[in-house]
Protein backbone atom coordinates (compact mmCIF):
# COMPACT_ATOMS: atom_id res chain seq x y z
CA UNK A 1 0.00 0.00 0.00
CA UNK A 2 1.00 3.63 -0.48
CA UNK A 3 2.75 5.22 2.46
CA UNK A 4 0.59 7.60 4.49
CA UNK A 5 2.99 10.44 3.73
CA UNK A 6 2.58 9.87 -0.01
CA UNK A 7 -1.19 9.59 0.24
CA UNK A 8 -1.46 12.88 2.12
CA UNK A 9 0.94 14.60 -0.28
CA UNK A 10 -1.01 13.37 -3.31
CA UNK A 11 -4.30 14.49 -1.78
CA UNK A 12 -2.95 17.98 -1.06
CA UNK A 13 -1.37 18.19 -4.53
CA UNK A 14 -4.68 17.31 -6.17
CA UNK A 15 -6.48 19.98 -4.11
CA UNK A 16 -3.78 22.49 -5.08
CA UNK A 17 -4.18 21.48 -8.72
CA UNK A 18 -7.82 22.54 -8.57
CA UNK A 19 -7.16 25.67 -6.51
CA UNK A 20 -4.73 27.29 -8.96
CA UNK A 21 -7.15 27.31 -11.86
CA UNK A 22 -10.15 28.16 -9.71
CA UNK A 23 -8.47 31.32 -8.44
CA UNK A 24 -7.60 32.46 -11.96
CA UNK A 25 -11.13 31.73 -13.20
CA UNK A 26 -12.58 33.53 -10.19
CA UNK A 27 -10.58 36.67 -10.91
CA UNK A 28 -11.75 36.71 -14.52
CA UNK A 29 -15.33 36.22 -13.35
CA UNK A 30 -15.01 39.35 -11.24
CA UNK A 31 -13.67 41.24 -14.26
CA UNK A 32 -16.55 40.11 -16.48
CA UNK A 33 -19.08 42.08 -14.45
CA UNK A 34 -17.36 45.34 -15.41
CA UNK A 35 -17.42 44.71 -19.17
CA UNK A 36 -19.92 46.71 -21.24
CA UNK A 37 -21.41 43.56 -22.65
CA UNK A 38 -22.45 42.42 -19.18
CA UNK A 39 -25.03 45.22 -19.07
CA UNK A 40 -26.54 43.95 -22.31
CA UNK A 41 -27.17 40.50 -20.87
CA UNK A 42 -30.67 39.65 -19.76
CA UNK A 43 -31.41 40.18 -16.08
CA UNK A 44 -31.66 36.40 -15.71
CA UNK A 45 -28.21 35.89 -17.18
CA UNK A 46 -26.72 38.55 -14.93
CA UNK A 47 -28.09 36.84 -11.84
CA UNK A 48 -27.00 33.42 -13.10
CA UNK A 49 -23.51 34.81 -13.65
CA UNK A 50 -23.58 36.05 -10.06
CA UNK A 51 -24.71 32.58 -8.95
CA UNK A 52 -21.83 31.00 -10.89
CA UNK A 53 -19.42 33.41 -9.20
CA UNK A 54 -20.83 32.50 -5.78
CA UNK A 55 -20.45 28.80 -6.51
CA UNK A 56 -16.80 29.34 -7.47
CA UNK A 57 -16.29 31.07 -4.12
CA UNK A 58 -17.75 28.06 -2.34
CA UNK A 59 -15.49 25.72 -4.34
CA UNK A 60 -12.46 27.86 -3.50
CA UNK A 61 -13.32 27.90 0.22
CA UNK A 62 -13.64 24.10 0.21
CA UNK A 63 -10.41 23.54 -1.72
CA UNK A 64 -8.37 25.69 0.67
CA UNK A 65 -9.97 24.06 3.72
CA UNK A 66 -7.66 20.95 3.75
CA UNK A 67 -4.61 23.21 4.09
CA UNK A 68 -6.16 24.98 7.06
CA UNK A 69 -7.13 21.62 8.59
CA UNK A 70 -3.59 20.29 8.15
CA UNK A 71 -2.07 23.36 9.81
CA UNK A 72 -4.60 24.04 12.60
CA UNK A 73 -6.03 20.66 13.58
CA UNK A 74 -3.04 18.32 13.33
CA UNK A 75 -0.18 20.85 13.30
CA UNK A 76 1.18 19.58 9.98
CA UNK A 77 1.28 15.89 10.94
CA UNK A 78 0.48 13.27 8.30
CA UNK A 79 -2.53 11.35 9.60
CA UNK A 80 -5.29 9.20 8.14
CA UNK A 81 -7.66 11.93 9.29
CA UNK A 82 -5.97 14.48 7.03
CA UNK A 83 -6.14 12.13 4.07
CA UNK A 84 -9.79 11.26 4.69
CA UNK A 85 -10.76 14.92 5.29
CA UNK A 86 -8.99 16.12 2.13
CA UNK A 87 -10.60 13.36 0.07
CA UNK A 88 -14.11 14.25 1.21
CA UNK A 89 -13.66 18.00 0.81
CA UNK A 90 -12.23 17.61 -2.71
CA UNK A 91 -15.22 15.47 -3.70
CA UNK A 92 -17.57 18.15 -2.37
CA UNK A 93 -15.75 21.03 -4.09
CA UNK A 94 -16.34 19.57 -7.54
CA UNK A 95 -20.12 20.00 -7.15
CA UNK A 96 -20.25 23.83 -7.00
CA UNK A 97 -17.47 24.05 -9.57
CA UNK A 98 -19.41 21.87 -12.01
CA UNK A 99 -22.68 23.73 -11.50
CA UNK A 100 -20.91 27.07 -11.89
CA UNK A 101 -19.28 25.89 -15.11
CA UNK A 102 -22.68 24.82 -16.47
CA UNK A 103 -24.22 28.20 -15.59
CA UNK A 104 -21.42 30.02 -17.40
CA UNK A 105 -21.96 27.92 -20.52
CA UNK A 106 -25.69 28.69 -20.31
CA UNK A 107 -25.04 32.45 -20.11
CA UNK A 108 -22.69 32.31 -23.10
CA UNK A 109 -25.06 30.08 -25.06
CA UNK A 110 -28.07 32.28 -24.35
CA UNK A 111 -26.22 35.40 -25.50
CA UNK A 112 -25.24 33.73 -28.76
CA UNK A 113 -28.20 31.52 -29.68
CA UNK A 114 -31.09 32.19 -27.30
CA UNK A 115 -32.49 30.76 -24.08
CA UNK A 116 -33.38 27.29 -25.37
CA UNK A 117 -29.96 26.68 -26.90
CA UNK A 118 -28.27 28.07 -23.79
CA UNK A 119 -30.31 25.78 -21.55
CA UNK A 120 -29.48 22.73 -23.66
CA UNK A 121 -25.76 23.53 -23.78
CA UNK A 122 -25.57 24.35 -20.08
CA UNK A 123 -27.28 21.08 -19.16
CA UNK A 124 -25.05 19.18 -21.58
CA UNK A 125 -21.94 20.62 -19.93
CA UNK A 126 -23.30 19.67 -16.52
CA UNK A 127 -23.98 16.12 -17.66
CA UNK A 128 -20.46 15.82 -19.11
CA UNK A 129 -18.83 17.19 -15.97
CA UNK A 130 -20.73 15.08 -13.45
CA UNK A 131 -20.44 11.96 -15.62
CA UNK A 132 -16.65 12.23 -15.63
CA UNK A 133 -16.32 13.41 -12.02
CA UNK A 134 -18.88 11.16 -10.36
CA UNK A 135 -20.55 8.80 -12.85
CA UNK A 136 -17.43 6.94 -13.97
CA UNK A 137 -16.25 6.80 -10.38
CA UNK A 138 -19.57 5.37 -9.18
CA UNK A 139 -19.27 2.55 -11.71
CA UNK A 140 -15.59 1.88 -11.04
CA UNK A 141 -15.53 2.37 -7.26
CA UNK A 142 -15.82 -1.31 -6.38
CA UNK A 143 -14.77 -2.84 -9.66
CA UNK A 144 -11.04 -2.36 -9.19
CA UNK A 145 -10.81 -2.68 -5.43
CA UNK A 146 -10.05 -6.45 -5.49
CA UNK A 147 -7.24 -5.81 -7.96
CA UNK A 148 -5.60 -3.10 -5.91
CA UNK A 149 -3.13 -5.23 -4.01
CA UNK A 150 -2.10 -7.15 -7.11
CA UNK A 151 -1.51 -3.91 -9.01
CA UNK A 152 0.57 -2.49 -6.21
CA UNK A 153 2.66 -5.64 -6.00
CA UNK A 154 3.17 -5.54 -9.75
CA UNK A 155 4.16 -1.85 -9.58
CA UNK A 156 6.54 -2.53 -6.71
CA UNK A 157 8.23 -5.34 -8.62
CA UNK A 158 8.57 -3.10 -11.64
CA UNK A 159 10.21 -0.41 -9.52
CA UNK A 160 12.55 -2.92 -7.89
CA UNK A 161 13.59 -4.18 -11.30
CA UNK A 162 14.99 -0.78 -12.22
CA UNK A 163 11.99 0.86 -13.88
CA UNK A 164 10.31 4.02 -12.69
CA UNK A 165 8.58 3.41 -9.37
CA UNK A 166 4.81 3.57 -9.37
CA UNK A 167 4.61 6.45 -6.89
CA UNK A 168 6.98 8.46 -9.09
CA UNK A 169 4.91 7.72 -12.20
CA UNK A 170 1.79 8.95 -10.39
CA UNK A 171 3.60 12.06 -9.19
CA UNK A 172 4.66 12.74 -12.78
CA UNK A 173 1.17 12.35 -14.20
CA UNK A 174 -0.26 14.71 -11.58
CA UNK A 175 2.47 17.23 -12.34
CA UNK A 176 1.68 17.02 -16.05
CA UNK A 177 -1.96 17.74 -15.24
CA UNK A 178 -0.94 20.75 -13.13
CA UNK A 179 1.06 22.10 -16.07
CA UNK A 180 -1.99 22.26 -18.35
CA UNK A 181 -5.03 22.81 -16.11
CA UNK A 182 -4.42 26.36 -14.76
CA UNK A 183 -3.72 27.68 -18.24
CA UNK A 184 -6.84 26.01 -19.65
CA UNK A 185 -8.98 27.54 -16.90
CA UNK A 186 -7.45 30.97 -17.49
CA UNK A 187 -8.16 30.62 -21.21
CA UNK A 188 -11.77 29.69 -20.45
CA UNK A 189 -12.15 32.82 -18.33
CA UNK A 190 -10.78 35.02 -21.10
CA UNK A 191 -13.16 33.37 -23.55
CA UNK A 192 -16.15 34.20 -21.36
CA UNK A 193 -15.00 37.81 -21.00
CA UNK A 194 -14.47 38.12 -24.77
CA UNK A 195 -18.15 37.38 -25.35
CA UNK A 196 -19.02 40.46 -23.25
CA UNK A 197 -16.90 42.91 -25.24
CA UNK A 198 -18.13 45.33 -27.91
CA UNK A 199 -15.67 43.87 -30.41
CA UNK A 200 -17.28 40.45 -30.09
CA UNK A 201 -20.70 41.84 -31.04
CA UNK A 202 -19.18 43.21 -34.25
CA UNK A 203 -17.73 39.87 -35.37
CA UNK A 204 -19.29 37.90 -38.25
CA UNK A 205 -21.76 35.25 -37.14
CA UNK A 206 -19.38 32.44 -38.16
CA UNK A 207 -16.64 33.86 -35.92
CA UNK A 208 -19.03 34.16 -33.00
CA UNK A 209 -20.04 30.52 -33.31
CA UNK A 210 -16.42 29.44 -33.79
CA UNK A 211 -15.51 31.24 -30.57
CA UNK A 212 -18.38 29.64 -28.66
CA UNK A 213 -17.45 26.17 -29.91
CA UNK A 214 -13.85 26.88 -28.86
CA UNK A 215 -15.12 27.91 -25.44
CA UNK A 216 -17.00 24.63 -25.09
CA UNK A 217 -13.92 22.66 -26.16
CA UNK A 218 -11.83 24.33 -23.45
CA UNK A 219 -14.57 23.61 -20.90
CA UNK A 220 -14.47 19.92 -21.88
CA UNK A 221 -10.67 20.03 -21.59
CA UNK A 222 -10.98 21.27 -18.02
CA UNK A 223 -13.47 18.52 -17.16
CA UNK A 224 -11.11 15.86 -18.49
CA UNK A 225 -8.08 17.31 -16.68
CA UNK A 226 -9.95 17.43 -13.37
CA UNK A 227 -11.20 13.85 -13.71
CA UNK A 228 -7.99 12.10 -12.49
CA UNK A 229 -8.13 13.94 -9.16
CA UNK A 230 -11.77 12.90 -8.67
CA UNK A 231 -11.02 9.33 -9.72
CA UNK A 232 -8.02 9.05 -7.41
CA UNK A 233 -10.02 10.29 -4.42
CA UNK A 234 -13.28 8.39 -5.03
CA UNK A 235 -12.25 5.11 -6.66
CA UNK A 236 -8.71 4.52 -5.45
CA UNK A 237 -9.07 6.21 -2.03
CA UNK A 238 -5.69 7.83 -2.64
CA UNK A 239 -3.88 4.54 -3.19
CA UNK A 240 -1.11 4.35 -5.79
CA UNK A 241 -2.13 1.79 -8.40
CA UNK A 242 -1.10 1.06 -11.94
CA UNK A 243 -4.77 1.25 -12.90
CA UNK A 244 -4.95 4.87 -11.73
CA UNK A 245 -1.74 5.76 -13.55
CA UNK A 246 -3.15 4.31 -16.78
CA UNK A 247 -6.49 6.08 -16.30
CA UNK A 248 -4.89 9.46 -15.56
CA UNK A 249 -2.59 9.12 -18.57
CA UNK A 250 -5.56 8.47 -20.84
CA UNK A 251 -7.44 11.47 -19.47
CA UNK A 252 -4.47 13.76 -20.13
CA UNK A 253 -4.12 12.48 -23.69
CA UNK A 254 -7.88 12.76 -24.25
CA UNK A 255 -7.86 16.36 -23.00
CA UNK A 256 -5.34 17.32 -25.69
CA UNK A 257 -7.93 16.68 -28.41
CA UNK A 258 -10.47 19.37 -27.39
CA UNK A 259 -7.67 21.63 -26.14
CA UNK A 260 -6.15 21.91 -29.60
CA UNK A 261 -9.59 22.43 -31.15
CA UNK A 262 -10.36 25.21 -28.68
CA UNK A 263 -7.06 27.01 -29.16
CA UNK A 264 -7.10 26.76 -32.95
CA UNK A 265 -10.78 27.70 -33.15
CA UNK A 266 -10.02 31.01 -31.48
CA UNK A 267 -6.92 31.38 -33.65
CA UNK A 268 -9.32 31.34 -36.62
CA UNK A 269 -11.44 34.06 -34.96
CA UNK A 270 -8.44 36.30 -34.27
CA UNK A 271 -6.89 35.76 -37.71
CA UNK A 272 -10.16 36.57 -39.46
CA UNK A 273 -10.60 39.74 -37.40
CA UNK A 274 -7.11 40.90 -38.37
CA UNK A 275 -7.16 39.87 -42.05
CA UNK A 276 -10.91 39.85 -42.79
CA UNK A 277 -10.22 36.80 -44.99
CA UNK A 278 -12.27 33.74 -44.04
CA UNK A 279 -10.46 31.32 -46.35
CA UNK A 280 -7.00 32.35 -45.23
CA UNK A 281 -8.04 32.25 -41.59
CA UNK A 282 -9.49 28.78 -41.92
CA UNK A 283 -6.31 27.57 -43.60
CA UNK A 284 -4.13 29.11 -40.89
CA UNK A 285 -6.23 27.51 -38.15
CA UNK A 286 -6.08 24.15 -39.95
CA UNK A 287 -2.28 24.36 -40.17
CA UNK A 288 -2.08 25.22 -36.47
CA UNK A 289 -4.33 22.27 -35.62
CA UNK A 290 -2.19 19.94 -37.73
CA UNK A 291 0.89 21.26 -35.95
CA UNK A 292 -0.58 20.56 -32.50
CA UNK A 293 -1.81 17.08 -33.37
CA UNK A 294 1.34 16.35 -35.33
CA UNK A 295 3.57 17.16 -32.37
CA UNK A 296 1.37 15.66 -29.65
CA UNK A 297 0.27 12.46 -31.38
CA UNK A 298 2.17 12.02 -34.63
CA UNK A 299 5.73 12.72 -33.50
CA UNK A 300 5.29 10.95 -30.18
CA UNK A 301 3.80 7.87 -31.86
CA UNK A 302 6.77 7.79 -34.24
CA UNK A 303 9.30 8.12 -31.42
CA UNK A 304 7.55 5.41 -29.42
CA UNK A 305 7.69 3.06 -32.41
CA UNK A 306 11.38 3.77 -32.94
CA UNK A 307 12.11 3.31 -29.25
CA UNK A 308 10.43 -0.09 -29.29
CA UNK A 309 12.19 -1.06 -32.49
CA UNK A 310 15.66 -0.54 -31.05
CA UNK A 311 14.69 -1.76 -27.58
CA UNK A 312 17.13 0.54 -25.85
CA UNK A 313 15.42 2.21 -22.87
CA UNK A 314 16.40 5.85 -22.52
CA UNK A 315 18.18 6.01 -25.87
CA UNK A 316 15.83 8.51 -27.43
CA UNK A 317 15.66 10.55 -24.27
CA UNK A 318 19.46 10.95 -24.32
CA UNK A 319 20.06 11.36 -28.00
CA UNK A 320 16.76 12.55 -29.46
CA UNK A 321 16.20 11.95 -33.16
CA UNK A 322 19.93 11.42 -33.76
CA UNK A 323 19.79 8.34 -31.59
CA UNK A 324 17.15 6.88 -33.89
CA UNK A 325 19.27 7.49 -36.98
CA UNK A 326 22.36 6.00 -35.40
CA UNK A 327 20.34 3.01 -34.02
Q: Are residues 289 and 210 in the same domain?
A: no
Contact between 24 and 189 (Cβ < 8 Å): yes
Question: In the chain, helix, strand, coil percent, each to 5?
Answer: 85, 0, 15
Per-residue pLDDT at 10 exceeds 80:
no
pTM: 0.84
pLDDT value for 312: 52
State the pLDDT at residue 141.
79
Percent of the chain with pLDDT over 70: 88
Same-domain check for residues 63 and 179: yes
How would residue 13 be classed by pLDDT, with cut points 50, 70 and 90? confident
Closest CA to 281 of 291, 263, 293, 269: 269
Residues 164 and 156: their CA atoms lie apart, in Å, by 10
Both 235 and 147 in a single domain?
yes
pLDDT of res. 155: 47
For residue 16, give every residue at least 6 positions away whose Cβ sits within 8 Å of its Cβ, in sequence order, or none: 178
Nearest alpha-carbon partner for 252 in 168, 180, 187: 180
pLDDT at 92: 92
Same domain, 15 and 157: yes
Domain extent for 156:
4-276
Residue 121, pLDDT score: 96
What is the average pLDDT across 133-147? 76
Average pLDDT over residues 100-125: 95
Clarify whether residues 264 and 284 are in a common domain. Answer: no
Provide the pLDDT confidence category of residue 1 given band limits of 50, 70 and 90: low
Is the same domain home to 292 and 163? no
CA distance 249 to 179: 14
> Quick one: CA torsion of 145, 151, 155, 160, rounded to 10 degrees?
120
Which of 298, 294, 320 lies closest to 307 in space, CA to CA? 320
Q: What is the reported pLDDT for 321?
A: 52
Considering the domain architecture, whether residues 207 and 104 belong to the same structural domain is answered as yes
> Residue 327: which pLDDT band, with cuts at 50, 70 and 90?
very low
pLDDT higher for 156 or 54? 54
pLDDT of residue 6: 74
Average pLDDT over residues 61-90: 87
Amino acid sequence: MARLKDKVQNALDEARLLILGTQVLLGLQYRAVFERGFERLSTRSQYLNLAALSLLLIALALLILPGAYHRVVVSGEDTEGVHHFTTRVTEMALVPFGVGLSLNVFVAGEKLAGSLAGLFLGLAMGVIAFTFWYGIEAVQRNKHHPERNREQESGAKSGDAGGTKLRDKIEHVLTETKVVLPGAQALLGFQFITMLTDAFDNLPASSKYAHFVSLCMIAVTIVLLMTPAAYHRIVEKGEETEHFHTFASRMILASMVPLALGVCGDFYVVTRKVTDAAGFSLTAAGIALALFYGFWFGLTAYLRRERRRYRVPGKLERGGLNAVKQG
